[in-house]
Structure 1
Amino acid sequence: MTVASDQPALEAVELVEYTDPLCPWAWGSEPVFRRLRAELAGRVRWRRVYCVLFDHDDDPPPDPAAETAWYARYVDDISTHTRAPRALRLSRVAASSWPSSLAAKAAESQGDEVAERVLRRLRESVFVLGEPADTPALALAAVRGVPGLDLERLAADAASAAVLEKVRADRAEARRPVGEVLSVRHESPHPGAAKETTDGGHRYALPTLLIRTAAGCRAVPGWRSYEEYATAVDELCPGLPPAPVPLAPAEALTRYGSLTGPERELLTHGQWPPAGAVRVETGNGPVWLHPEEAAAHPAHGRNSPAEP
């Protein structure tokens, strides 16, 4: 990657985000990651690694209804810390992360903006709609109408051997965590120590951000504040760009298509909501959609225009 000559320290910076489209802690980290990506856009390589949180070899629950009730309480507890929206009703625990991970990985070939919107819709399938995109058909239904997305191409790519191999490589990489995350002490409700796997190994807790530069490597695991991520980047690569001016509400909603309460507080400045914003109710505060996004969103029919 080549950057401006007056920023030599940022020439070889990679940020690796270990995540899963259906992970509640990753969903709760979206506000700070969106801000960090906006600040570092064009200055670093940001790479997502899909860890496959819900795997094929996971044992099915003996009592699906009880499992769903437990998991809904678990997500509810997480949302008290992150303030991220949660579905009014969760239909089931996701059977597999593979379909959504394959769709998210396949979307990367259609450009960063499309890939961001696709991943967002996949996250919203479970945490806004309560219907996790855990089959190929549900993953495609969740992302239908994303601006600029070629859905037919996405379906073909997500079913291809090439994309399957990429997600398999992601899954394997996530199960080779750096040593510093094997034991983590932090006051966060989700400190992010690596999780044990059924084969006796470990994988990254989600989310984990790995920062790599010529000067070294730093892991920031679990649920953390924006300041902790920014400090870690700046320590390895002095010259982190100053915080951008927050976007006007209408501009932010146009850029992102969908904003939660924590996101609009962190990313925008000005009277909220902007004209035409569409409000979708959840169990922990609304999600706000751009009207064009709302027209194609799976939540269409639940949406209501914001009151002036």
Structure 2
Amino acid sequence: MIQKESKLKDTKQTKAGSVEIEVYTDPLCCWSWALEPQWRRLRYAYQGRLKWRYRMGGLIPNWDSFNDPMHAISRPLQMGPLWMEARHTSGMPIKDKVWFDNPPASSYPACIAVKAAELQSPVAAETYLRKVREAVMLHGQNIAEWQVLRQTGKELAQEHPEILDAAKFEEDLSGREARKAFEEDLLRVRLHNISRFPTFTMRLAGATAGVMIVGYRPYEALEKALKQVAPELEPIPHTTDELEYRRYWGSITNREVQEALRQG
């Protein structure tokens, strides 16, 4: 787990406006899942003021090439203790036993599946990303398996046919366009020298200046970064009600609710 906050190349500020956020992440990243309570709280508080896009980082190409010297991880079994740490630190439920029972061989298939959903819409990408994370983090499913990814798409299409078309998703999942979109994300990861997930880049719409924030962070750190690029930006005033917050997100963990209620 790395915690880092740094300015991007130019620090020029412009007048307040909508903020564009790029989220570099991976469906198999336990710290990205751990940060969901804070990330969801930020989006809820600044509704209509933020625009975001997910970039798939390709955390694990395969276990022959993967090596994380910071956490001394080079084999699937060694990933389990890191997921246990993420669960303990964040309070988010995480099925770390997947690394003992049925370890994913790669995160690339899940990344491609998210990009296949994105070919339909950004909402489809975000909703699918959440559902495929739940599949592994909450239910211990092996999301390196294509049949699991297909089934996740079918379930999402059944629950929300207005968001995802199952037939198109199935076609795009095996098509070239989704893989090309993932390759473009990997290129951006390399260009920005991003080595840890999650990583957020925030900047005002149309600006070249911005802030980069890396790793698992408290909500206050995300909001501080947001204020650095848009000092005049204010959250939408509302009273957070537990039932209202649960309805807003649909599928939600108790830890995410606790984070939202913490703002008082």
TM range (shorter): 0.7 to 0.9
TM-fit CA distance, 1:263 = 0.4
Q: How many residues align?
A: 234
1:45 Cα offset (Å): 2.4
SS in 1 for 2:24: strand
Matched, 1:26 2:17: no
Partner secondary structure for residue 242 of structure 1: coil
Q: 167, 177, 193: which one pairs with 2:182? A: 167
Tell me the secondary structure at the aligned position of residue 16 of structure 2.
Answer: helix
Which residue is equivalent to 1:10? Answer: 17
* CA gap 1:77/1:88 in 2 versus in 1, 3 angstroms: closer
Gaps of 5+ in 1: 1-6, 178-201, 270-308
Q: Return the index of the structure with the highest Cα Rg.
A: 1
Q: Give TM-score scaled by structure 1 length.
A: 0.68
Which structure 1 residue ranges, 4+ long, deviate > 6 Å from structure 2? none
Q: In structure 1, how many angstroms separate the alpha carbons of the residues matched to 2:252 and 2:84?
A: 19
**Residue type of the alignment partner of 2:131:** R
1:73 to 66, 74, 81: 81
Distance in 2 (CA, whole Å) between partners of 1:77 and 1:236 is 32
Q: Distance in 1 between matches of 2:187 and 2:208?
A: 25
SS of structure 1 residue aligned to 2:109: helix
SS of equivalent residue, structure 1 residue 49: strand
Superposition pairs of residues 54-73 of structure 1, within 5 angstroms: 54-56=60-62, 58-59=64-65, 67-73=75-81
Aligned partners of 1:51 and 1:60: how far apart in 2? 13
Instruction: Flag structure 2 segments of 5+ consecutive residues without an equivalent.
Output: 1-13, 68-73
**RMSD of Structure 2 on Structure 1 (CA):** 2.6
Larger RCO (CA within 8 A; separation ≥ 6)? 2
**Per-residue Cα deviation, 1:142-178 (whole angstroms, up to 9, x for no partner):** 233222321221111222212211100101111222x
1:107–1:115 Cα contact (<8 Å) kept? yes
Whether 1:117 and 2:127 are equivalent positions in the alignment is yes
Residue 84 of structure 1 corresponds to which residue in structure 2?
92
CA distance in 1, matches of 2:66, 2:59: 14
Amino acid at match of 1:140: R
| Contact persistence 2:63–2:75 (CA under 8 A) | no
TM score, norm. by length of structure 2:
0.79
Corresponding position of 1:212 = 203
Deviations 1:35-75 (A, max 9, x none): 222233332321111000011474499xxxx9444322221
Match of residue 297 from structure 1 = none
Q: Which residue of 2 aligns with 1:251?
A: 244
Deviation at 1:109, TM superposition (A): 3.6
| 1:56-114 Cα deviation digits (max 9, x unpaired) | 474499xxxx9444322221012111111111731333211122111212222434443
